[in-house]
């Protein structure tokens, strides 16, 4: 895509988010607050998806031209930032986690049959999916701890275990789970795990409960705790082969981490804009909040920190495109360490300027704050990325 076309795409996406998506947030959340509607899909989201697809604003995340927009990471970054301004925007353009990561897995590692059955309806936005890796009884930041079993039995595999934080599994449109578990506990440490496709309606799959984030259940998508009790699926549901789970995870999580960071730049930018508007319109002790030195300082620091994060995200995206994900891992780690924490800090300042209203449903700030705080754990906690980055730096400059 040439520069003019990309500029036009960016402009059209921005207009759609500002003119259509953000004004629809109230209707979206009002729907799930109605009695009996908690886990149903607001019609407005499907209307927005239909219109976005008609305008060519669809699968923008996908770098494979035969499946999506064909953009590289550097070109996608500003688009992800725009979508990050609203919690509901990524789904409108079929760019929402965990579906994008699951689609990437199916594109890169799926068989033709797996792609025909699951990838195509995901690309069309007809179904949703979930990724079941984390477990409640082990420290899943070290994925070698995973205890769920995937055992071969004739022409099938049998899955047993418990997973949680399976984002999207509560969604009534969720049809497929990608489950990570152990196929050979005696193998080399990073060859014990595999990933397998498990349809949600398979006997033995039980969604136990939705988990909450700061008391919010994130309906209608949610984060599920799921048990697998003698769940039997065909051997053809295995992804790539036994013992390849870590390989798939690395291919899936690298782009996903940077996509979250890109979106959080947008969330922080929206918070800054709300903070500026509030500071100029709210009067306390006889003058606007914008006349208070401490508020001005917070606005200035927030702008600086957002721009720093933006440049780091772009640098990581550029390195991924030019050098590959493995060579870019230090920049990806830096982005993952700093950008969610930055967004959390900026959004927290905006909440403070809004007073008690910033904690309520009357602004987007509380939801954006919860998102930023969550990403400091999702796809690996801060400490894991800090440790990995430090180890790479120590190798680069030995004593």
Helix then strand count (H, E) for the chain reads 13, 9
What DSSP character marks residue 131? E
Torsional sign, CA 233, 239, 240, 245: negative
At 140 the pLDDT is: 85
Strand partners, 167: 223
- Please determine, looking at this structure, whether the domain spanning 3-110 carries the CATH number 3.30.70.140: no
How far apart (Å, rounded) are the C-alpha atoms in residues 83 and 262?
9
Token readout for 103 is 């689609």
pLDDT tens over the chain, length 399 residues: 889 999 999 999 999 999 999 999 999 999 999 999 999 999 999 999 999 999 999 999 999 999 999 999 999 999 999 999 999 999 999 999 999 999 999 999 999 999 999 999 999 999 999 999 999 999 988 888 999 999 999 999 999 999 999 999 999 999 999 999 999 999 999 999 999 999 999 999 999 999 999 999 999 999 999 999 999 999 999 999 999 999 998 877 667 788 999 999 999 999 999 999 999 999 999 999 999 999 999 999 999 999 999 999 999 999 999 999 889 999 999 999 999 999 999 999 999 999 999 999 999 999 999 999 999 999 889 999 999 999 999 999 998
313 class by beta-carbon count within 10 Å (0-12 exposed, 13-18 middle, 19+ buried): buried
**Cis peptide bond upstream of 311, omega within 30:** no
pLDDT 10s digits, 88-97: 999 999 999 9
Class of domain 246-396: mainly alpha
How far apart (Å, rounded) are the C-alpha atoms in residues 379 and 313?
16
Which stretches of the chain are DSSP H helices? 3-16, 22-32, 43-54, 73-83, 89-92, 99-109, 112-114, 120-123, 245-281, 293-323, 329-354, 365-375, 382-396
164 close to 225: Cβ distance less than 8 angstroms: yes
Architecture of 128-239 per CATH? Beta Barrel (2.40)
Matching fold, domains 3-110 and 128-239: no
73 close to 255: Cβ distance less than 8 angstroms: yes
Three-state DSSP state, 223: strand
What DSSP character marks residue 190? G
Query: Which backbone phi and psi does 63 adopt, to 5 degrees?
Result: -80, -5
How far apart (Å, rounded) are the C-alpha atoms in residues 90 and 336?
19
CA dihedral 363, 369, 374, 379 (to 10 degrees): 100
pLDDT 10s digits, 169-197: 999 999 999 999 999 999 999 999 999 99
Q: What is the DSSP secondary-structure string of 68-85?
A: S----HHHHHHHHHHHTT
Say how many C-beta atoms besides its own lie within 10 A of residue 197's C-beta.
Answer: 24
How far apart (Å, rounded) are the C-alpha atoms in residues 14 and 85?
10
How far apart (Å, rounded) are the C-alpha atoms in residues 195 and 133?
9
Q: Where are the domains of the chain?
A: 3-110, 128-239, 246-396
The full length of the chain comes to: 399
How far apart (Å, rounded) are the C-alpha atoms in residues 39 and 71?
34
Query: Which backbone phi and psi does 138 adopt, to 5 degrees?
Result: -135, 160
Closest residue by Cα to residue 257 from 36, 50, 80: 80
CA 159 centroid distance within chain: 26
């Amino acid at each position: 895509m040439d520069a003019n076309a990309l500029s036009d795409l960016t402009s059209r996406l921005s207009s759609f988010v500002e003119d259509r998506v953000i004004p629809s947030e109230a209707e979206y959340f009002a729907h799930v607050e109605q009695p009996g509607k908690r886990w149903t899909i607001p019609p407005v989201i499907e209307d927005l998806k239909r219109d976005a697809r008609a305008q060519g604003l669809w699968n923008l995340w996908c770098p494979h031209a035969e499946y999506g927009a064909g953009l590289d990471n550097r070109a996608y970054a500003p688009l992800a930032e725009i979508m990050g301004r609203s919690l509901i925007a990524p789904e409108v353009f079929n760019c929402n986690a965990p579906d994008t990561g699951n689609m990437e897995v199916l594109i890169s590692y799926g068989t033709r049959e797996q792609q025909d059955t699951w990838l195509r309806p995901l690309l069309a936005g007809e179904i949703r999916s979930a990724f079941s890796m984390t477990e409640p009884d082990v420290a899943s930041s070290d994925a070698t701890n995973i205890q769920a079993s995937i055992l071969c039995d004739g022409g099938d595999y049998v899955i047993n275990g418990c997973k949680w934080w399976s984002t999207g599994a509560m969604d009534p449109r969720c049809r497929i789970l990608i489950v990570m578990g152990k196929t050979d506990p005696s193998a080399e440490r990073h060859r014990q795990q595999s990933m397998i496709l498990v349809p949600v309606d398979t006997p033995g799959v039980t969604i136990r409960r939705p988990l909450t984030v700061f008391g919010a259940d994130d309906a209608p998508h949610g984060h599920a705790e799921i048990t697998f009790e003698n769940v039997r699926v065909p051997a053809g549901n295995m992804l790539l082969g036994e013992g390849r789970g870590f390989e798939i995870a690395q291919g899936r999580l690298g782009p996903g981490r940077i996509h979250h960071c890109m979106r959080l730049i947008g969330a922080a930018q929206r918070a800054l804009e709300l903070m500026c508007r509030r500071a100029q319109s709210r009067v306390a002790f006889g003058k606007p909040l914008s006349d208070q030195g401490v508020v001005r300082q917070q606005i200035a620091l927030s702008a600086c920190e957002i721009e720093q994060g933006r440049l780091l995200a772009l640098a990581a995206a550029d390195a991924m495109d030019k050098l590959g994900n493995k060579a870019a891992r230090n920049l990806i780690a830096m982005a993952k360490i700093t950008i969610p924490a930055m967004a959390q800090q900026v959004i927290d300042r905006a909440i403070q300027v809004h007073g008690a209203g910033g904690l309520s449903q009357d602004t987007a700030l509380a939801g954006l704050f919860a998102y930023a705080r969550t990403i400091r754990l999702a796809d690996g906690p801060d400490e894991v990325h800090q440790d990995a980055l430090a180890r790479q730096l120590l190798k680069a400059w030995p004593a």
